Every structure is written in C-alpha cells, then in structure tokens.
C-alpha cells in the first residue's frame, strides 16, 4: 500500500469518527444549541477545526515538495488531482442537500435561522476532507 | 480515467535484466514500487519523463518499452 493511500485511510477513519461525534452532539443537544449554548458551539468548532488540522498534518508529510521524491511520485500527484472531482461533487451535493432540506422545512416561515449558515460552512469543510480521502482511495483502486 | 492504450514490455525486460525487481527498477527510475506495479499492469500510463527514465533504466529506447496500440480502443 502506498504511503499516501495509508494516510488517506487514516484520514477517512478520523474524518468519519469526528463527523459522527459532531452529528451526535447536534442530534442530542439540538441544532439550536449551536448558538444558544457556548459549550456546544466551541465543541463543534474545535472538532471541525481539529479535523482540518489533522488532515493537513496527515497529508503534508507526503505531499510536501521536499519529501515528495521519497514518499510519493507522479502517480500519487495525479491521484490527488483527480480526487478534486470527488471533492467538487461532494461539496455540490452537500449544498444541494442543505438547500432542499432548509427550503422544505422553513418554507412556511419564510426565513431560515441564522445558525444554519455556520452549520453549512462546517459541514462543507467536513465533506471536503472526507471526499478528498475517498477520492484518493478510489484513485488508487482504479490505478492499481 | 481513460483505459490504457499503451502496452509495455516491462515484465519481459525485467526478466532479461537478471530478473530485476520492481523495487530496483523503481529506484533507478525515481518512482515508487507501486507505480512500477501499476505501469507494468497497464493500469497507469506514465508521463513521458517517467517513460524515458524507465527505458533508460533498461538501457533501451522508449519504444522498446512502450508501444501505442490504436486497436486497443
């Protein structure tokens, strides 16, 4: 297994775990607790930022130009480039899901609670990481 | 990902060069062993630069290693 492939599995595992915790926290405490309760807001923010930092830490050693020669080569770079398409579709899908869900739920009220733009942003960040990890793994499956 | 239309003789050339290992070829060509595995299996078509390095590792020309197959489409 290539170094980048191992790290993509690690990143996917961490991403799924953190995403599950975020969904569980918001599910148990309620979505509105994100702006009513400071503890929930900081917890969710810390989890998502932690995921982004962890993902950068996982990928950087492999993709950093200085170490690139030893741990990755042109095929790895091509796989990371192709993973962009999975990221793009993941982000578009997330935005479409949010748009349809919020429109349907809040149609009668004619307005959407201010908490949702934050949640949309954080969810897109999480999906971005998960989709890149999945895109990398799909790339290795196709090119191996 | 487009299906590889480029055939290669890497396996044969490794055999002809004293059963050169994929790791040894990777070291000579400056890529990872996994990339050599993928190229040899026709799952990945290397860049021109890597193709030249692989050919040079065997001491032959690029066309002695890689062949473009139009009918493969």
Q: With H, G, I as helix, E, B as strand and everything else as coil, classify residue B66.
A: strand
Task: Please state, in angstroms and rounded to a whole number, the distance separating the CA atoms of residues B60 and A67.
Answer: 30
pLDDT(A67) > 60: no
Query: Is B62 inside a domain boundary?
Result: yes
Least confident of A53-57, B29-33, B45-49, B67-71: B67-71
Query: Is B37 inside a domain boundary?
Result: yes
The pTM of the full predicted model, rounded to 2 decimals, is 0.83
pLDDT(B2) > 80: no
Query: Is B56 inside a domain boundary?
Result: yes
Q: Does the ipTM exceed 0.90?
A: no
Return the residue matching tokens 């492999």.
Answer: A62
Taking CA atoms, what residue in A is nearest to B33? A2
Task: Please state, in angstroms and rounded to a whole number, the distance separating the CA atoms of residues A33 and A41.
Answer: 8
Query: Is B1 inside a domain boundary?
Result: no
Say which CATH number the domain at B18 has. 1.10.260.40
pLDDT(A83) > 80: yes
Question: Mean pLDDT over residues A6-26, rounded?
Answer: 94
Q: How many domains does chain B have?
A: 1
What angle is formed at CA A132 by the lines to CA A131 and CA A137, rounded to 5 degrees?
A: 95
Q: Which residues of A touch B35 (CB under 8 A)?
A: 73-76
The more confident residue out of A88 and A31 is A88
- Judge residue A4's burial from the number of C-beta atoms within 10 Å of its C-beta, 0-12 exposed, 13-18 middle, 19 or more buried: buried
- Cβ atoms A130, A55 nearer than 8 A: no
The more confident residue out of A34 and B51 is B51
pLDDT, position A65:
65
Domain of B44 in residue numbering reads as: 6-72
The model's confidence at residue B46, banded by pLDDT at 50, 70 and 90, is very high
- Cβ atoms A16, A130 nearer than 8 A: yes
Query: Is B66 inside a domain boundary?
Result: yes
pLDDT, position B54:
96
Task: Quote the crossing angle between the two packed helices A115-142 and A3-29, to the nearest 10°.
Answer: 150
The model's confidence at residue A105, banded by pLDDT at 50, 70 and 90, is very high
The model's confidence at residue A18, banded by pLDDT at 50, 70 and 90, is very high
Report CB contact under 8 Å: A76, B43: no
pLDDT(B20) > 90: yes
Residue A72 gets the label, from left (phi > 0), alpha (psi -120 to 50) or beta, of beta
The model's confidence at residue A114, banded by pLDDT at 50, 70 and 90, is confident
pLDDT, position A99:
96
Task: Please state, in angstroms and rounded to a whole number, the distance separating the CA atoms of residues A109 and B19.
Answer: 73
pLDDT(A16) > 80: yes
What angle is formed at CA B61 by the lines to CA B59 and CA B62, rounded to 5 degrees?
A: 120
Least confident of A30-44, A76-90, B23-37: A30-44
Q: Which residues of B touch A135 (CB under 8 A)?
A: none
Out of B37, B43, B47, the one facing A74 most closely (by C-beta) is B47
Task: Please state, in angstroms and rounded to a whole number, the distance separating the CA atoms of residues A119 and A127.
Answer: 12
Out of B32, B41, B43, the one facing A73 most closely (by C-beta) is B32
């Amino acid at each position: 297994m290539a170094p980048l492939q191992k790290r993509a599995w690690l990143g996917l595992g961490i991403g799924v775990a953190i995403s599950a915790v975020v969904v569980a926290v918001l599910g148990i405490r309620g979505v509105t607790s994100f702006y009513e309760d400071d503890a929930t807001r900081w917890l969710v923010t810390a989890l998502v930022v932690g995921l982004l930092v962890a993902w950068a830490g996982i990928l950087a050693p492999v993709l950093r130009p200085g170490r690139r020669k030893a741990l990755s080569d042109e095929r790895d770079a091509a796989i990371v480039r192709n993973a962009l398409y999975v990221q793009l579709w993941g982000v578009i899908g997330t935005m479409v899901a949010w748009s349809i869900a919020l429109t349907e739920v809040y149609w009668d009220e004619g307005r959407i609670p201010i908490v949702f733009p934050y949640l949309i942003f954080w969810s897109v960040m999480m999906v971005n990481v998960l989709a890149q990890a999945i895109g990398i793994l799909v790339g290795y499956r196709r090119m191996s | 990902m487009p299906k590889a239309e480029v055939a290669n003789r890497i396996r044969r050339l490794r055999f002809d060069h004293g059963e050169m290992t994929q790791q040894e070829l990777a070291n000579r060509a400056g890529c990872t062993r996994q990339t050599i595995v993928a190229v040899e299996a026709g799952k990945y078509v290397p860049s021109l630069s890597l193709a030249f390095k692989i050919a040079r590792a065997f001491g032959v020309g690029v066309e002695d290693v890689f062949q473009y197959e139009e009918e493969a489409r």
